[in-house]
Amino acid sequence: QVQLVESGGGLVQAGGSLRLSCAASGSIFSINTMGWHRQAPGKQRELVATATSGGSTNYADSVKGRFTISRDNARNTVYLQMDSLKPEDTAVYYCNARLIEFGATRFLDYWGQGTQVTVSS
């Protein structure tokens, strides 16, 4: 059974920084893309950033230049360094991984349980 476990959320003042981590575990053969999404109250879940196993990254326009995604492929872990945080970054942040398990025939998407990030003004 595959699990994604996030950590690193919390409360921070505007202009501050937080670092989120997400570790995937279980019967994992290969991970393609790992990333972060977020959902603010009353809003739809939105993409924040993704990183492929080959090192390509993609960011939402709203976080470009402030957030940095990185991966440790050996540890099946993805990080999100968040700098210059703004109150509008307040949301529950979800880790996502597109992976294939041993013995499986296709890649599937898995999600973490979410971690709260709150930025005060």
pLDDT band at 3 (very low <50, low <70, confident <90, very high): very high
CA-CA-CA-CA torsion sign (73, 75, 78, 84) = negative
Confidence band of 59 (pLDDT split at 50, 70, 90): very high
What does the buried/exposed string (b/e) look like for 30-44 if buried means 16 or more CB atoms within 10 Å of the residue's CB? ebebbbbbbeeeeee
Please give the pLDDT value at position 4.
Answer: 98
Tokens of 29: 């053969």
Q: Under a CB-based contact definition with an 8 Å cutoff, are residues 14 and 86 in contact?
A: yes
State the pLDDT at residue 16. 98
Q: What is the mean pLDDT of residues 68-94?
A: 97
Could you give the CA distance from residue 102 to residue 91 in angstroms, rounded to a whole number? 34
